[in-house]
Amino acid sequence: MFERFNKGEVVDKKKEAKRYNVSSKTIQRDIKEIRIYFSTIYHEVNTKIIYSEKENGYILKRDQYDWINSQEILGLSKILLESRAFSEKEMNVLIEKLIKQTVPDQRKHIKKIINNEYYHYYPPKHEELLLDKIWDLSQAVRKNKIVQFKYSKVNSSNFVNRKVTPLGLMFSEYYFYLIAQRIEDKYDYKIPYRLDRIKNYKVLEENFKVPYKERFKEGEFRKRVQFMTPGKLMKIKFKFWGRSIQAVLDRLPTAKIIKKQEKEVYIVEAEVYGQGIKMWLLSQGQYLEVLEPKEFRKEMKETVKKMYNNY
């Protein structure tokens, strides 16, 4: 009954007595015990079991702002499927667990809405199980524990040994990343390691110290990085006259319009990491021109020439 209350189902005292072959008084006592449990465990939020004349049974009433509802579960399910972050096995488990948090009638509705995406889900090629790895490495980040592992680089079947200080975990463009610094590096250079390429990882007992003011801030890093390819941090200025300046500002959180010219032409400035931003800028084709810094403008021009020569 506790599980069914949690899922939003209606509990009818007479039906429950018949289901378990006990008296109605026994069911009433059980409901009382569950009511006491909820009032004790969830005393900080408005949660209680009441009798609903409309539903003709007992229901768990809770503040909608403290509990996930069916609309939110539908939204999260759509985002999960679109992310293509997990293997088919892990995605199935996550989606099924989410849907089971709703009452039966609403489960049918959610499954109908996501059915096509769910049935045709296309997992990442690596087919790695990631949830345990994400948890283990997040613990290493939280406890400031050094991690060692074998890592395979892009387009390589060879593995290199790495010993790192883990700084944070992030998700971007279908993949999870461990943001870390190599122990042997003397300079402050943060490297994104794709989790599916990390093998034989081990969280060591060795600790590392990071002053609070110098702690890694995932949110600030995300604002400036594209495609998890950091490169050199720099300020760029570019002219944009494409279809949606709003899409540019959403894509580059540090971007700001410093001047608007005629016919929806904008001068935009942003603080970003080099290599990743270069990939995005090139994707805008003829609707964008890099203005500063001069060295980066020159690099973009040379890249465009090489692209032209390919055709």
Q: What is the pLDDT of residues 263-285, one digit of tens each?
A: 889 999 999 987 889 999 999 99
Which helix (H) or strand (E) segment is 205 a member of? strand 198-207
As beta bridge partners, residue 152 has: 159
Q: What is the pLDDT of residues 100-133, one digit of tens each?
A: 888 777 888 999 999 989 989 999 999 899 999 9
- Would you list the DSSP string of 122-189? ---TT----HHHHHHHHHHHHHTEEEEEEEEPTT---EEEEEEEEEEEEEETTEEEEEEEETT--S--
Instruction: Provide the percentage of residues in the chain whose pLDDT is more than 70.
Output: 96
Architecture of domain 224-309: 2-Layer Sandwich (3.30)
Whether the Cβ atoms of residue 279 and residue 227 lie closer than 8 Å to each other: yes
**What is the model's pLDDT at position 122?**
92
Q: What is the pLDDT of residues 37-59, one digit of tens each?
A: 877 777 656 678 888 888 889 98
**What is the model's pLDDT at position 67?**
66
**What is the model's pLDDT at position 45?**
60
- Say what the pTM is: 0.76
**What is the model's pLDDT at position 63?**
63
Is the pLDDT assigned to residue 65 strictly greater than 60? no
Q: What is the pLDDT of residues 179-214, one digit of tens each?
A: 999 998 776 788 899 999 999 999 999 999 888 887
**Is 2.30.30 the CATH number for 131-216?**
yes
CATH 3.30.70 placement within the chain:
224-309
**What is the model's pLDDT at position 232?**
83
Q: Which of 35-44, 168-177, 216-225, 231-240 has the lowest mean pLDDT?
A: 35-44
**What is the model's pLDDT at position 53?**
87
| Dihedral angle computed from the Cα positions of residues 139, 145, 146 and 151, in that order, rounded to the nearest 10 degrees | 0
Collect all residues with Cβ–Cβ distance below 8 Å to 72 and sequence separation of at least 6.
none
CATH 2.30.30 placement within the chain:
131-216
Mean pLDDT confidence for 86-101? 92
Q: What is the pLDDT of residues 229-243, one digit of tens each?
A: 877 889 999 999 998
**What is the model's pLDDT at position 5?**
83
Residue 5 tokens read as: 């209350």
